[in-house]
Structure 1
Amino acid sequence: MKKIILVLLSIIYATNGFSQSDSTEIVDINMQDYSPSVLLGKGNWEYKLFNNLYTQTANFDANGNRQQNANRANYFSAINQFLYGVSPTLNVGFDLWVKSVHNGTAESSALDLFAFPNDANSRTAISGFGPKIKFAPFKNLTKLSLQSTFLIPVATDLEGKTNGQPYLSDDSYIWINQFFYDQPIGTKFQLFFQVAPWFYFKRQPQAAGVSRVAFSNPVSVFFSYYATDRISFYVQNEYWPSFGTPFISSAFLQNGIGMKYQLIKGLLEAEALYTKFTVGKNAGAGETFNVGFRLIH
């Protein structure tokens, strides 16, 4: 983990040196203007670290009924994202995803995961790394953008089929396409929409009659309130269906509430988010605790 952080900091430092020496004009930044639908200006860069802890002691069955489990399953994701502004309509970058899993008794704490053990019930690994591109397809629609990320699986046997360790992540090449759009409502409120088709390409051959390609299409809506020029609050609703046999093989709805605060105005922002899985089909019935940081220069 320390090596990963050092590599990321080195890349950011190198990019900073390039942008300082380049003749590109970098304007002052109002971080609240940089919603996910807005691209970075030429020479600007952004680094995000989003930490997600998911924990569950229940699941939704095929009929949508909530069933209690005998064990607690915990999953942690540290999603590192870097973007660089090539132009006001084109940004490029990369993602690095680090994941952990820990399975314990129903009475155990979700925080037991952060001991990062490596045994038959626990595992930590780099689950994916890959390039991303973000662009604005229409000049007259500055609040509409498309981001495409291709994640290459790094660790072996992420699904734990042969290594005697628990399921960590889908053992697939993942192509994520995110369509972003936001609509300001006056000066204090904003609606943000996201449609994000995910395509999964299994790394290993599957059983006879089982496709190596899978598809899901989450849809998200956020409603934000900008209390001041440094702090904002939002509510989130996300529906995530996965398609297969039958047509929608699994799905869940998660609802949440979060806030963002600029620790250093115009430079560093912190985020906290809580979500709960309220409806589902062949899916977990858990909750998430999230902390994120965003650095823009």
Structure 2
Amino acid sequence: MKFTKNIITAFCLLLTVSFAVAQDDDSDLSNVQEFTPSKLLKKGQWDIKFFNSIYTQTEQTDSGSKSVTIDRQTFFTNTTEIFTGISKNSRVNIGAVFQVRSNALNGQGALDVFSFEDNGNDRRSGLTTIAPAIRIQPFRSLSTFSFTSALIIPVFEDTPDSVDDNVFSFLDQRSLAWETKFFYDRTFGGNKWQIFTEIDFKFNFGEKSSEADPSQENVSERFANNSLFLPVSAFLSYFPSSKSTVFINAQQSFLIDLGNDFAQNGTQLGFGGKYQLTKVLNVEASFGKFVRGDNFQGLGQTFSLGLRALF
């Protein structure tokens, strides 16, 4: 309990610092320094990002906060984001987000996700969601505050829970969702330090999982319907050079019940780095670990690798 309190205290301090530090002049910044998610593109500029992550777990909490051992579950996600600037004042961007997933469940090896098989049972894969999106910088005087709003549309086939009722089968959330993310960052310390904060509001719609027909619909994929997913994140970055950065991050997430009779929360800590390979390409790698949770929250690790093109 003391460790958890320390985590939450440190996380709150990071959020407080983000609004207390003074921002230095940001001229002559590299893409790594300047183009955080807070900063919008100029008219005609493009931003394409391929982000790959593997989340694997052999532990989760019980109905409370006690850790229990489970058969390994591994979830691979490829997120492709494509955005372009459409306004002369760099305050409106439009784009789309696509997600491809591959899951290996029921005790299979973590690397089995790369088989990209879908047997309708303990291996699932496919294009799962498409999300048209818009990014807006609402205040001209605050260029590092913006938000992105997207309508997330599930495009994968709805199938029964499993060909074997004893096997957990899951590909993605079976829900039309509206997600809005708010971003803010400040650079300080002679462009050597940067604090970035993010708050997300994701409203999941759809029928309650208890109302789904198991013979025709996947009940597991409806666990988050009629809920609000609310993660709050903070990143503290240090720039050894103008082209590279290392960072630590913390996230507290909540799944708030809006009618599905299910809620949970979890705390994640992580670290990572970015490097500008060329004037166009950046590469990013990171690691995250869920250190606590409540009500069947997974306590696994996330390994991520991303490539971003700005032109």
- TM-score computed with the length of structure 1 as normaliser: 0.83
Q: What's 1:296 paired with?
A: 310
Q: How far did 1:63 drift?
A: 2.0
Counterpart Cα distance in 2 of 1:94 and 1:197: 18
SS of 1:218's equivalent in the other structure is strand
Task: Measure, in 2, the Cα distance between the counterparts of 1:67 and 1:131.
Answer: 39
User: What secondary structure is seen at the aligned counterpart in 1 of 2:86?
Assistant: strand
Matches of 1:38 and 1:191, distance apart in 2? 13
The CA distance in 2 between the partners of 1:140 and 1:61, in whole Å, is 47
Which structure is higher in RCO with an 8 Å CA cutoff and minimum separation 6? 2
The residue that corresponds to 1:242 in the other structure is 255
**Equivalent residue for 1:18?**
none
- Please tell me whether residue 259 in structure 1 is matched to residue 273 in structure 2: yes
Share of identical aligned residues, percent?
A: 31
Q: Is the 8 A contact 1:157 1:163 kept in 2?
A: no
Residues 267 and 291 in structure 2, CA contact (< 8 A), matched pair in contact too: yes
- TM-score scaled to structure 2, two decimals? 0.79
Alignment check: 8 A CA contact 2:208 2:260 kept:
no
2:194 maps to: 190
- The correspondence of residues 46-65 of structure 1 with structure 2, limited to 5 A, is 46-65=47-66
Report the AA paired with residue 195 of structure 1: I
Which segments of 5 or more consecutive residues in structure 1 lack a partner in the other structure? 1-27
> What is the number of residues matched between the two proteins?
264
Unaligned runs of 5+ in 2: 1-27, 213-222
| Residues 139-288 of structure 1 mapped to structure 2, 5 A cutoff | 139-157=140-158, 161=161, 166-186=169-189, 187-202=191-206, 207=210, 213-244=226-257, 249-264=263-278, 266-282=279-295, 283-288=297-302
Counterparts of 2:29 and 2:225, CA distance in 1 = 44
Contact 2:30–2:243 (8 Å) recurs in 1: no
Q: Following TM superposition, by how much is the alpha carbon of 1:195 offset from its aligned partner in structure 2, in angstroms?
A: 0.5
Q: What is the letter of the counterpart of residue 92 of structure 1?
A: I
Q: Secondary structure at the match of 1:294?
A: strand
Point out the structure with the larger strand share.
1
Mapped contact 1:132–1:147 kept (Cα < 8 A): yes
Partner of 2:99: 97
Supply the AA of the counterpart residue of 1:249: A
2:104 touches 2:112 (CA, 8 Å); kept in 1? yes
Aligned with 2:113: secondary structure?
A: helix
| Aligned equivalents of 1:84, 1:176: Cα separation in 2 | 19
Q: Residues 9-55 of structure 1: CA distance to partner in whole angstroms, max 9, x if unpaired?
A: xxxxxxxxxxxxxxxxxxx9831211110000111010001101000
Contact 2:184 2:198 in 1 (8 A): yes
DSSP-derived class of the 2:241 partner:
coil
